[in-house]
Amino acid sequence: MASLFSSVLLSLCLLSSPFLSNANTKSKLGFTADLIHRDSPKSPFYNPTETSSQRLRNAIHRSVSRVFHFTDISQKDASDNTPQIDLTSNSGEYLMNISLGTPPFPIMAIADTGSDLLWTQCKPCDDCYTQVDPLFDPKASSTYKDVSCSSSQCNALENQASCSTEDNTCSYSTSYGDRSYTKGNIAVDTLTLGSTDTRPVQLKNIIIGCGHNNAGTFNKKGSGIVGLGGGAVSLITQLGDSIDGKFSYCLVPLTSENDRTSKINFGTNAVVSGTGVVSTPLIAKSQETFYYLTLKSISVGSKQVQYPGSDSGSGEGNIIIDSGTTLTLLPTEFYSELEDAVASSIDAEKKQDPQTGLSLCYSATGDLKVPAITMHFDGADVMLKPSNCFVQVSEDLVCFAFRGSPSFSIYGNVAQMNFLVGYDTVSKTVSFKPTDCAKM
């Protein structure tokens, strides 16, 4: 991986970061990087002994466990019924090649739209989980700098930050729904992203978490997380005006050739325009990390299934769009009505699949004709293809890639594949454009 960074670096000092005092908002960036699916041969998580069906079943199980715990934040704040979702520590289906420090130290990190802080395990590790790759050594980086408790970087973490009375350095503590956690120092350092034009992009003074005490169910082959959420310390927010608050991705279907890699775009490269683009508002809620959309209904052929509360207007921001969740999760009663509509439109015998827990499955050996399914977001009708709705979980079985969830909704990545999905955090919109992502 180190050879990726041996070419001449495109050094881009992000003076427009909201955490730097000498801001220069005239500097605009545009670059594209690879998003590597964790089951790709290019991923450290890849298991060559598994079949494609086994990998998909594992992804489905991760999709369910990603939302490990659900509570209603309205118990804490009666004025806002925003859901609180705790993510598991092995969350995320896509990886990015990044490097930290000077000289660049390579890390294969999970790219996660459901979290904010970019963090990795660091030396010295007081109590760390076993990691296959070497640990990042902050002393070996000439650009690494711990931040003080009074700094804007420390204040941005709010309740995740604490202060050392010994040396006035800022510390962080992040826990996950499965009781895993990471603790360490908040610092700034140079982040290098592998760009598809072979010229890596160097981003200076990026806030990172240097984890010295990390434990739980972290995978030994993983070495970090890149937070792409909407919170104050996410990479998207830190890049700020330099990317005009824009990023987009195009996810290659799981059935595509192994050497086809999904793409993530930033700034001027992330603009979604042209024929077929539809856009829907991003809804702000107290949980700034998550990207909330408003789902009005789902149509199955000519039948429209109304989302609960959408008629009265109380359903604003009722679904989270997330690249790290495989399935699309919907409230149980709404899902049941949707499943009935789909099943009644398919002239085939239903099958059981006890391994995945998916309730609507059919034989993969026949000529299965599925109905047209459209997601009706506020102002945007997204027409799904059969591959966005059904996945092959074994040689002889295909299942509906939606399922019920107790109290919340997530628009998962299977439904987003072969769409260019653009996030504009300034204009507060998410856009969808049907795209052959393997050709990008």
Known active-site residue 112: yes
- 116, 146, 322, 424: which one is catalytic? 322
> Sign (positive/negative) of CA torsion 185, 190, 194, 195?
positive
For residues 389 and 300, what is the distance between their CA atoms, to the nearest angstrom?
11
What one-letter code names the amino acid at 221? K
For residues 309 and 296, what is the distance between their CA atoms, to the nearest angstrom?
9
Known active-site residue 322: yes
Q: What is the full DSSP assignment across 165-214?
A: TTT-BEEEEEE-TTS-EEEEEEEEEEEEE--TTS--EEEEEEEEEEEEEE
Cα 85 versus chain centre, distance:
14
Structure tokens at 179: 């009781």
Closest CA to 207 of 257, 156, 255: 156
Cα 346 versus chain centre, distance:
32
How many helices and strands in the chain, by DSSP H and E? 6, 31
- 112, 146, 178, 353: which one is catalytic? 112
> Sign (positive/negative) of CA torsion 185, 189, 194, 195?
positive
What region, left, alpha or beta, does residue 44 occupy, with left being phi > 0 and alpha being psi -120 to 50 degrees?
alpha
Task: Give the catalytic positions in this structure.
Answer: 112, 322
